[in-house]
Structure 1
Amino acid sequence: MATIERFEDLVCWQAARKLRGAVYRLTRLRPFSADFALVNQIRRAALSASANIAEGFEREGNREFARFLAQAKGSVGEVKDELYAALDENYISQADFEQAYGLADETTRLLGGFIGYLRRTANAASKFKRPNA
């Protein structure tokens, strides 16, 4: 694995960022934007996903990082459910749903793979191949 120096270099964070952007774009549209509770909830979940990846990266050790990634994965699951709510309420089109859900699925897949890697290497020296700070 290549040396990762910043959380922005993580493919899973990049995917979560794209998902967050899609969520924010969708929630600006009417009639979605009028449902303040759902807008707030889905935005918080999308933001939580990328933020937990970033926070976990800045922590020490693979185990702790994996816990934060698992939290991020849970937040992506929450986004998926809230996308269904938006679709069911006709706030978004089927095409918008599929595009955003696809981003969420990709983020989930990347997080799951990285969590597995970190758990397999949890007893290794320190966090994956990270330069000495």
Structure 2
Amino acid sequence: MASNFEDLDCWKACYDLKLYVKKEILTKLPKTERFELYSQLLRSARSATANITEGWGRYHYKENIKFLLNARGSVAEILDHGIEAKYCDYISEAVLQTLRNKAESCLRLINGYIKYLRNRSKE
């Protein structure tokens, strides 16, 4: 078990995704989206790392898994918002593809951590 949530690979990947969203997507959105898409993207990006952190702090496998499932949902939401941003021509196909790759990496790592915790809870 990690001694700190910052040691978790899934948290690191989601943090990287959050930074990518802030740098490569939020900066490209028009001011008219400030309280709509911008806000939704920022909240979902923050939610992914926050849920991993909160789950890690719970000390019970089932509770931790519950928060990891929430984090997984937030990553999926980030991707959905990225697709919307591309549809509106706010971002390029290349930015969306990088977002997809980062989101898929996050999902793989979160799923792996969930599997690990489920196995540990059976011991």
Question: Identity of aligned pairs, percent?
Answer: 36
Within the alignment, does 1:61 sit opposite 2:56 as a pair?
Answer: no
Query: Where in structure 1 do 4 or more consecutive aligned residues deviate above 4 Å?
Result: none
The answer for the alignment partner of 1:115 in structure 2 is 114
Which TM-score applies when normalising by structure 2? 0.93
Computed over aligned residues only, the root mean square deviation of the Cα atoms, in angstroms, reads 1.0
- Counterpart of 2:5 in structure 1: which amino acid? F
Amino acid at match of 1:6: N
Q: How far off is 1:33 after superposition?
A: 3.9
Q: What does residue 44 of structure 1 align with?
A: 43
Q: 2: distance between equivalents of 1:114 and 1:33?
A: 37
Query: Which of the two has greater helix per residue?
Result: 2
Distance 2:85 2:42 in 1: 12
What is the aligned length? 120
Structure 1, unaligned stretches of length 5 or more? 125-133
TM-score by length of 1: 0.86
CA–CA distance in structure 2, aligned partners of residues 57 and 117 of structure 1: 13
Aligned equivalent of 2:4, options 6, 12, 15: 6
Q: Give CA deviations for 1:84-110 in whole Å, capped at 9, x if unaligned.
A: 000000000001111111111100111
Choose 1 or 2 for highest CA Rg.
1
